[in-house]
Amino acid sequence: MRQALAEAAFELFLERGFEQTTVDDIVARAGVGRRSFFRYFPSKEDVVFPDHEGCLAEMTALLEGAGGRDPVAAVCDAARLVMLMYAANPEFSVRRYRMTREVPGLRCYELSVVRRYERVLAGHLRERYAGAPDGDLRAEVVAAAVVAAHNNGLRTWLRSGGEGDVESLVDHALGLVRQAWGDGSGSPAGRRPEDDVVVLVARKGTPVWRVVQSVESALEG
């Protein structure tokens, strides 16, 4: 029923446009009553993004089981769930992406959803950074960076019409955030702490990001 409503709605949005389609049109096409629609979807906007509630719940569950892992790695993995949801149905995801860009109401809805994901990630980080200096601030900044990186990778894929490997694109993008903010453990390459000692020599005034790059590559070596 839920899926049938979503499909009927989407057909109509593509035929007539989002604004020109009413809930009555959708239930008529799906052959169900108006009440059924609102049992599944609070609004017309929700039908365009039928899986976000489920994904938010999965994300929360994944983070609850994150235990003592690097918090940044954990929220990156949580963000990947969104990409996996989009990747499960490339054609639908690409069509929706194109429609969303053209309909202001949907853009707004999407921004709200993205913000909800960001809050879930920030909430986890806030707990993990509790007591650390600037813990709340760091939690919000890292969550925003993770979401931006994730969306950069996902959007590249959506813009290309769903061609190429979205997992690699998103993982590469998330890698930049993990490099800057993560603790380096649990990387995809399975890097393990060793007992070697790295000595780094830097001239005062060296750009910090260059120093970080050197440190990172030494620790990876």
Start-to-end CA span in the chain (Å):
54
Query: From the list 19, 53, 134, 163, which residue makes contact with a second copy (rule: CB under 8 A)?
Result: 134
**Cβ proximity of 141 and 73 under 8 Å:** no
Query: Taking the mean position of all CA atoms in its chain, how far away is CA 155?
Result: 11
Q: Which stretch binds a second copy (CB under 8 A): 4-12, 29-37, 51-59, 134-142?
A: 134-142
Does residue 152 interact with a second copy by CB under 8 A? yes
Tokens 């806030």 label which residue?
A: 126
Is residue 176 a contact point for a second copy (CB under 8 A)?
Answer: yes
DSSP-derived secondary structure for 36-75: HHHHH-SSHHHHHSTTHHHHHHHHHHHHHT-TTS-HHHHH
Question: 98, 17, 1: which is closest to 50 by C-alpha?
Answer: 1
User: Which token pair is 98?
Assistant: 């194109």
Say whether residue 130 binds a second copy (CB under 8 A): no
Q: Should residue 211 be labelled a site residue for a second copy when binding is judged by CB under 8 A?
A: yes
Spatial contact of 107 and 175, defined as CB atoms under 8 Å apart: no
Build a one-symbol-per-residue string for 23-42: x at contacts with a second copy by CB under 8 A, - elsewhere. --------------------
Shortest reach from residue 106's CB to a second copy, in Å: 11
67 binds a second copy (CB under 8 A): no
Going by C-alpha positions, the residue among 209, 100, 195, 105 that lies closest to residue 151 is: 100
**Judged by CB under 8 A, does residue 4 bind a second copy?**
no
5 and 26 Cβ atoms separated by less than 8 Å: yes
Is the CB of 36 or the CB of 152 nearer to a second copy?
152
Applying CB under 8 A, among 90, 123, 184, 186 the residue interacting with a second copy is: 184
Tell the smallest beta-carbon distance from residue 42 to a second copy (Å). Answer: 11
The residue (of 25 and 216) whose beta carbon lies closer to a second copy is 216
- Which residues of the shown chain bind a second copy in the complex (CB under 8 A)? 107-109, 111-112, 115, 134, 136-138, 140-141, 143-145, 147-149, 151-153, 173, 176-177, 179-185, 192-212, 215-216, 219
